[in-house]
Amino acid sequence: MNNFDFYNPTHLVFGKERLGELDNLIPPAAKVLVLYGGGSVKKFGTLAKVLAGLKNHKVVEFGGIEPNPQFTTLMKAVDIVKKENIDFLLAVGGGSVIDGTKFISLAAKYERENPEELLKFGFTPIPGCKAVPLGTVVTIPATGSEMNNCAVISYNHGKYVIYSAEVFPKFSFLDPTITFSLPATQVANGVVDAFIHTTEQYLTFPVDGRFQDRTAEGIMQTLIEIGRTTIDEPTNYEARANLVVCATMALNGLTCSGVPQDWTSHMIGHELTAIFGIDHGKTLAVLLPAVLTVLKEQKRAKLLQYAERIWNITDGDEASRVDLAISKTREFFESLGIKTRLADYNVTEDKIDDVVKALQQHGMTALSESGKVTLEVSRKILEGAM
Ligand code: NZQ
Ligand code: ZN
């Protein structure tokens, strides 16, 4: 097992009808900015419950954070934070609203002139980084942003990942009933996103991380068990509760501690969203089978473990077990109603050049746990995803 640090300060508040506890978790004198997306929280009553839970606080609202949150929209909220002397941010939404709020929390405290610079740090620590404290009320079980220190921000046709320990939410409310109103396709996106967060931290090479492997396998098995049920029966509390817990735990720093990681599907997927507007979860469902096919030699030992422990594949030679595990993975995504070929999203082969060019512009030239996924290998992956 590799050396690691595990740090996660987010307080989870899980369960039904708990938004009344919001006031207790925010400092009493804090002026709160409540942030949300395009209106689902108004339509389905979540915002009203949040405001009732904040009745002892001064509150200002900011709506209109779009899916794949845009820098220019977020900067409007930064102005409000400064003008209104906001002390605490409360994101009410999915990954886009939560990520947008994380960016706002950093940009509002950024002392230099150009907050765009924040997007260039990537994995490098931001010098002198400060942030307005934030909390979340999660409306989509998918990204895990509610319990991590990462945000993905859209700017000028690119998606930029930023990290800072300062943006771990102080708390996150996980109420499965708030997610009952999600359309089936968003639920399916969430199942796939959580599943592929897990594979990105698992399908590499063995380092005898038994706890990490078995935790990852537990998340994947749960998602396979409840995936179709939670789409077909949106108000089935137990099924949705299991999705909510899996999504949060899949990307909170636990299963990646001390083991190698490979974020190839995510990094290429971000370009597919930026160029073609395909939902995040759907880009991953297209890419993962192609990534595993192209990298099956480098990932052979873990793929065999995955075949046996996740798909119960024990017969046949190694190569056919690996191939069967990859086709079972594709079938699982398709069974959730998510298409797994680029052509299904009207992306034609002649567009692959644009994606490769974008990867180059964003420095994505040595991806995967091996660093061997060059632009040429990414091209092969994209060709395999057609
Ligand atoms: O905007 P509203 O009207 O609220 O509608 C949203 C939005 O259109 C709707 N929605 C949300 N909750 C709902 C609901 N509709 C009905 N009922 C509810 N309860 O769902 C739509 C999609 O929302 P979005 O937040 O974009 O979805 P998701 O949670 O999948 O987030 C995707 C974003 O997260 C980033 C992605 O890149 C993408 O920008 N990611 C963030 C990560 C992180 N911070 O750790 C990791 C992920 O890998 C991912 O990259
Ligand atoms: Zn993801």
Q: Which of helix, strand or coil describes residue 236?
A: coil
The strands making up 134-138's β-sheet, listed across from edge to edge, are 11-14, 171-174, 134-138, 88-93, 31-35, 58-62
Q: Which residues pair with 134 in a beta bridge?
A: 89
Distance CA(127)–CA(283), nearest Å, equals: 33
Distance between CA atoms of 360 and 234, rounded to whole angstroms? 41
Give the Å distance between the CA of 194 and the centre of ligand 2.
Answer: 7
Give pLDDT, residue 113. 77
85: left (phi over 0), alpha (psi -120 to 50) or beta: left
Q: Which DSSP category does 87 fall into?
A: -
Q: Is the CB of 152 under 6 A from ligand 1?
A: yes
| Number of CB atoms found within 10 A of residue 353's CB | 11
Asked if CATH classification 3.40.50.720 holds for the domain at 184-384, the reply, yes or no, is no
Residue 183's Cβ-count burial label (10 Å; 0-12, 13-18, 19+) is exposed
Domain ranges for the chain, please list them.
11-178, 184-384
Reduce the DSSP state of residue 72 to 3 states and report it.
helix
Mutate to test the pocket of ligand 1, among 73, 96, 148 (most ligand atoms within 8 A of CB): 96
pLDDT in tens, 48-79: 999 999 999 999 999 999 999 999 999 999 99
Regarding the beta carbon of 143 and ligand 1, being less than 6 Å apart is answered yes
Cα–Cα dist 187/163, whole Å: 26
Q: In whole angstroms, what is the distance from residue 356 CA to residue 335 CA?
A: 30
Reported as a single tens digit per residue, the pLDDT across 311-323 is 999 999 999 999 9
DSSP 30-64: -EEEEE--SSHHHHTTHHHHHHHHTTTSEEEEE--
266 lines ligand 1 (CB under 6 A): yes
Q: Which of 112, 282, 130 is nearest to 196 (CA)?
A: 282
pLDDT at residue 121, rounded to an integer? 87
Q: What CA–CA distance (Å, rounded) separates 90 from 21?
A: 13
Residue-level pLDDT at 128: 83
H-helix segments, 257-317: 264-276, 280-294, 300-311
For residue 26, report the distance from its CA to the centre of ligand 2, in Å.
29
40 CA closest ligand 1 atom index = 3
- pLDDT score at 123: 81
Categorize the per-residue pLDDT at 338 as very low, low, confident or very high, splitting at 50, 70 and 90: very high
Share of the chain above pLDDT 70, in %: 100
pLDDT at site 124? 84
Number of Cβ within 10 Å of residue 237's Cβ equals 13
The fold for domain 11-178 equals: Rossmann fold (3.40.50)
Residue 139 is encoded by which pair of tokens? 């409306």
Over residues 290-309, the pLDDT tens digits come to 999 999 999 999 999 999 99
Ligand nearest to the CA of 67: 1
pLDDT of residue 127: 83
| The pLDDT of residue 111 is above 90 | no
Ligand 1 atom nearest residue 154's Cα? 39
HSE (CB half, 13 Å, CA atoms) of 258? 13
Closest CA to 244 of 257, 255, 234: 234
Nearest ligand 1 atom to alpha carbon 69: 39
How do 58-62 and 150-155 pair as beta strands?
A: unpaired
* Position in ligand 1 atom list of the atom nearest CA 186: 20
For residue 112, what pLDDT band results from cuts at 50, 70 and 90? confident
